[in-house]
Amino acid sequence: MENESFRDHLSTVTQEGKRVWVYPKKQKGKFYTARTIVSFFLLAFLFVTPWIKIDGHPFFLFNIFDRKFILFGFAFGPQDFYIFALGFVTMVVFVVLFTAVYGRIFCGWICPQTVFMEMVFRKIEYLIEGDASKQRALDAEPMNGKKFFKKSLKHVIFYAIAFVIGNTLMAYLVGIDKTLDIIGHPPAEHLAGFIAVMVFSGVFYFVFSKFREQACTIVCPYGRLQGVLLDPNSIVVAYDYVRGEPRGKLNETKGDCIDCHLCVAVCPTGIDIRNGTQLECVNCTSCIDACDSIMVKVKKPKGLIRYASMKGIKDKVKFGFTPRIILYTSLLVILLSILTGLLMSRSDVKANILRSPGKIYSEMPDDRISNLYHVVLVNNTFNDMPVEVKTNTPDAQILLIGKDVVIPSLSVHEAEFMVVMDKNKINTTVVQLNIQVFAAGKLFYETKTTFIGPQKK
Ligand code: SF4
Ligand code: SF4
């Protein structure tokens, strides 16, 4: 691009720093229909999931207050920190690789901000205030009965939806039962929960009624990382300048772009995609649909704006699965498989037994010798777990120190036990020992260790 001045400022902010309100034109087209269908399933998943329970426990829970998490019905606690750490690293690598190949597909199709803004709030706005031109006219009007009614109706509905989203978020954090409890009782009985729901609802209302595209262009870190994550091979929503330029009115044009500005008019972030890939572009595909509709009218091939890489456009190469895409996609699949494997192989209860540091053995009354061991037990289930430590080594006996061991749900428990043997049954200084750990009556851990006895005289 010869004139890159558009990169020096946001299209939604004036030179004086004032907000330019975006009135994107109503859209239709195959991508918009596909996004509507995808959004329907995503929204259904989001709102239905908190109600799903498995054995009385939520399907998903992100209880950061009590540090308890449930993913797909599997419980996780602080003891699973390593899985979260690995999950986080996987996610970062995934985001980098995915974006390098597929650009911002996530932003346009899956991001809750785009889904709610374009598929819920924007649709309601069109329904109440009409298309872009009507909205512009309504905002320019002085306050009157009709305007007051339309604006009030819109904001009441917006707040009601924000309130539902706020409560849904609460259900993900503390569970649906607790959320219903908060809703069903006077605020004074659940002050903290009530304040949290009000804050969540207020934030969502503000974001979707006022802040809008600025969440993507100013706040979202993913959007701001695009500059380093994208390269000329990344697939983005792109204008085919080779085909489109030089642009001009229908009869005078040499390129295919008739400069109708429809792609700009439908853009929810207010940019002109013909300037090239920009930070503000959330890859929502509206400009593709808009331009395709124009191309049909002027009897030219669709796809002047399409999913393509900048290199593909420059070299006039159609999209195809290049070795780079295959390699990155394979890496993504491998990463996800490793993480899934880790999650699937995670056992309900785990144990680790080590000899306690310090004295090697102790002499006890009645000519008996004891060794001290330390056991670390992890309970990854929703229920408290009674645990028994046993040995099947002949002549050895286990004595637990303290009370019977019960590992509380989703926690780590440490205990000590002694292995005791009659002195005259010990023939060597080192006796091979087999220790078994039973949880709720079932053997789940077995290890070989050693029992140290005194030197034979
Ligand atoms: S440029 Fe196109 S894809 Fe990007 S945000 Fe605007 S309308 Fe959506
Ligand atoms: S919608 Fe297509 S033809 Fe119209 S200005 Fe945009 S790129 Fe050009």
* pLDDT tens sequence across 350-379: 889 988 887 788 898 888 999 999 999 988
Task: Identify the DSSP state of 410.
Answer: T
Enclosing H/E stretch for 335 = helix 323-344
Average pLDDT score over residue span 67-71? 84
Cβ–ligand 1 contact at 12 (below 6 Å): no
Query: Which are the contacts of 25, defined by CB distance < 8 A and separation ≥ 6?
Result: 131, 132, 262, 265, 266, 290
Instruction: Tell me: pLDDT of 1 over 70.
Output: no
CA of 212 to the centre of ligand 1 (A): 14
Dihedral over alpha carbons 278, 283, 288, 291 (to 10 degrees): -40
How many angstroms separate the CA atoms of 204 and 10, rounded?
23
Enclosing H/E stretch for 432 = strand 430-439
CA of 302 to the centre of ligand 2 (A): 11
Domain-by-domain residue ranges, the chain? Answer: 1-140+213-346, 349-452
Q: How confident is the model at residue 10 (pLDDT cuts 50, 70, 90)?
A: low
Q: Name, of 93-107, 198-212, 264-278, 341-355, the range with top average pLDDT.
A: 198-212
Instruction: Tell me: pLDDT of 224 over 90.
Output: no
- pLDDT recorded at residue 196: 93
- pLDDT recorded at residue 5: 61
How many angstroms separate the CA atoms of 97 and 91, rounded?
10
Q: How confident is the model at residue 84 (pLDDT cuts 50, 70, 90)?
A: confident
Q: How far apart are the first and last CA of the chain?
A: 92
- pLDDT recorded at residue 46: 97
- pLDDT recorded at residue 128: 97
Q: Which residue has the higher pLDDT, 134 or 249?
A: 134
How many angstroms separate the CA atoms of 60 and 54, rounded?
10
- pLDDT recorded at residue 209: 96
Instruction: Tell me: pLDDT of 2 over 60.
Output: no
Instruction: List the one residue out of 339, 417, 351, 343 whose CA is nearest residue 379.
Output: 351
CA of 110 to the centre of ligand 2 (A): 26
How many angstroms separate the CA atoms of 419 and 433, rounded?
9
Q: Whose C-alpha lies nearest to ligand 1, atom 8?
A: 284
**Collapsing DSSP states into helix, strand and coil, what is residue 147?**
helix
Instruction: Tell me: pLDDT of 74 over 90.
Output: no
Dihedral over alpha carbons 226, 100, 97, 302 (to 10 degrees): 110
Q: How confident is the model at residue 8 (pLDDT cuts 50, 70, 90)?
A: low
Q: Which atom of ligand 1 is nearest to the CA of 273?
A: 1
- pLDDT recorded at residue 18: 83
Q: Name, of 140-154, 267-281, 405-419, the range with top average pLDDT.
A: 140-154
The listed CATH number (3.30.565.10, 3.40.630.10, 2.60.40.10, 3.40.1710.10) that belongs to domain 349-452: 2.60.40.10
- pLDDT recorded at residue 149: 97
Can you give the three-state secondary structure of 94-143, one letter per residue?
A: HHHHHHHHHCCHHHHHCCHHHHHHHHHHHHHHHHHHCCHHHHHHHHHCCC
How many angstroms separate the CA atoms of 194 and 270, rounded?
37
How many angstroms separate the CA atoms of 298 and 423, rounded?
100
Q: What is the pLDDT of residues 266-314, one digit of tens each?
A: 999 999 999 988 888 999 999 999 999 999 999 999 999 999 988 888 8
The mean pLDDT value of the chain amounts to 88
CA of 42 to the centre of ligand 1 (A): 21
- pLDDT recorded at residue 253: 61
- pLDDT recorded at residue 99: 86
Exposed/middle/buried for residue 64 (C-beta within 10 Å: 0-12, 13-18, 19+): exposed
Q: What is the pLDDT of residues 250-271, one digit of tens each?
A: 777 678 999 999 999 999 999 9
How many angstroms separate the CA atoms of 167 and 184, rounded?
12
- pLDDT recorded at residue 93: 80
CA of 244 to the centre of ligand 2 (A): 8
Average pLDDT score over residue span 59-72? 87
Q: Look up residue 349 and give its two tokens.
A: 């209860």
**Collapsing DSSP states into helix, strand and coil, what is residue 287?**
helix
* Buried residues in 72-85 as b, exposed as e (16+ CB within 10 A): eebbbbebbeebee
Of the listed ligands, the closest to the CA of 290 is 2
Within 6 A (CB) of ligand 2 lie 239, 244, 257-263, 274, 290-291, 294, 304-305
